[in-house]
Structure 1
């Protein structure tokens, strides 16, 4: 996936793109709190025929951080909308992983006309309804460790938990590499959003566009039972990703890609797209 940059009124927005010579249906990929655009590279090989756009969220990589020190998911969705409009994306399926699922939910609530569908993958649901002590604990639980430990030690301690037990060592290295790019200020903003917002504020009832929930069946961060409960609460279809932890698209890229393709192909008119390898 090629690294690119788009200058918006709100600042630089960096992303990676897998494009095809002919017009192709578009999947937009939103990473989680400890990750970045490069984390989707392994999945990309399993999605021929799609244009893939994976952003570095505001405050990640070289993307300009949000102006608000204490942003909500809606603030990230506003930047997302400006980026997609700037790229001329009229219709896409939005895939939000972990914290990215909260951003995707906010985008669905505010800008449904640009979305053919939404996938909430290993979804974080936020702590906005927790008491003040819990919210403060969640807010400080990541970026303060990164600041104190440094990138290398933080990544070595944290990365294995995002994957299944007995994960491929190369996948652990992949997750560590993305953690090594984290910016403390952007990480802290994302931590604030996780601690003080919640997905249910944006999806209080059945969503306005087709929506799928998927989750790794060995996810230790956002457990499958929580993802299934979300799907049941909203009347949404649910799909397990076998032998996959929280970063299910890294642990099991073929199964994750198959779930995306089955969901997105009819929504985007991609019936003639090549089969997943």
Structure 2
């Protein structure tokens, strides 16, 4: 059952609610990272750090900033090449390039340890960070994780990469949003959620999206997860057609956990079903906090 703490009315539309969580930015030694945050007054509670997918951004987590910020510091970044965040250096980056940027950002904000939540492409970054800096990850929650094509034959990786890049070149950000955003949600998603996904996807920076496309082609999340021994959970919407349950089952198996399937939700389930996803994140964070207490 959903906790009473996660039954908000959500009287404001997504864009109106976002005003409460303005863009912030921090300069690290190597780049600028833009982000949004909530719950600053809870300084002694373990932070929840959220990483968005390839066609998204920090703003997509507005409902989680609203709800989770009541009990936790919550931070959502714009990945390198998104929003105000500067790009990673390689033209064809790998997951560790983004993991290094994540490390620099957490250092700049003086966050020593956190609950890390990755959605879709964000899961590739989260997984890479976790195996490199396991002590900083209290728990790893992967929502509709992209597995990456790093384990596929070279011609498959190239075909997947080049097809996505060609679509971007042909359509541009707005055209991409018009054509692809509906695939992010289930058939039952509300119009406000649909418009929010379209709006965020239309804001992508083509150069940043291109680098993220290379990341998707180069990464192998399942391999990374076999090397992480910390707490992991994997969840997917039952109506997800982009990273469907069968694909996410392979990721869960690599992490040696059971896959959680959220009824009625699509790929961006945390946008269309925020109450259920916030409850899922909250419950996972509570487990991580209990584990920390048991170790002390």
Q: Give your verdict on TM over 0.5.
A: yes
Q: Say whether the 8 Å CA contact 2:222–2:250 is kept in structure 1.
A: no
Q: In the alignment, does 2:209 pair up with 1:187?
A: yes
Q: In the alignment, does 2:101 pair up with 1:79?
A: yes
Q: How does 1:1-277 map to 2 (within 5 A)?
A: 1-23=21-43, 24-47=45-68, 48-205=70-227, 207-268=228-289
Residue 144 (structure 1) shift: 3.0
Q: Partners in 2 of 1:68 and 1:232 — Cα distance?
A: 31
Pair 1:169–1:79, CA change in 2 (3 A)? same
Pair 1:143–1:175, CA change in 2 (3 A)? farther
Q: Say whether the 8 Å CA contact 1:243–1:251 is kept in structure 2.
A: no
Residue 140 (structure 1) shift: 2.3
TM superposition outliers: structure 1 runs of 4+ over 4 Å: none
Q: Say whether the 8 Å CA contact 1:71–1:193 is kept in structure 2.
A: yes
TM-score under structure 2 normalisation?
Answer: 0.87
Pair 1:116–1:190, CA change in 2 (3 A)? same
Residue 120 (structure 1) shift: 1.0
Q: Say whether the 8 Å CA contact 2:26–2:32 is kept in structure 1.
A: yes
The runs of 5 or more residues in structure 1 that have no matched partner are 271-277
Residue 255 (structure 1) shift: 0.9
Q: Partners in 2 of 1:97 and 1:141 — Cα distance?
A: 22
The Cα RMSD (Å) is: 1.7
Q: Say whether the 8 Å CA contact 2:57–2:79 is kept in structure 1.
A: yes
Q: Partners in 2 of 1:267 and 1:82 — Cα distance?
A: 23
Residue 269 (structure 1) shift: 5.3
Q: Say whether the 8 Å CA contact 1:125–1:200 is kept in structure 2.
A: yes
Judging by fraction of residues, say which structure has more helix: 2
TM-score under structure 1 normalisation?
Answer: 0.92
- Residue by residue, what CA displacement relative to the aligned partner does 1:6-27 show, whole Å, maximum 9, x if unpaired? 0011111111111232323310
Q: Say whether the 8 Å CA contact 1:20–1:49 is kept in structure 2.
A: no
Residue 62 (structure 1) shift: 1.5
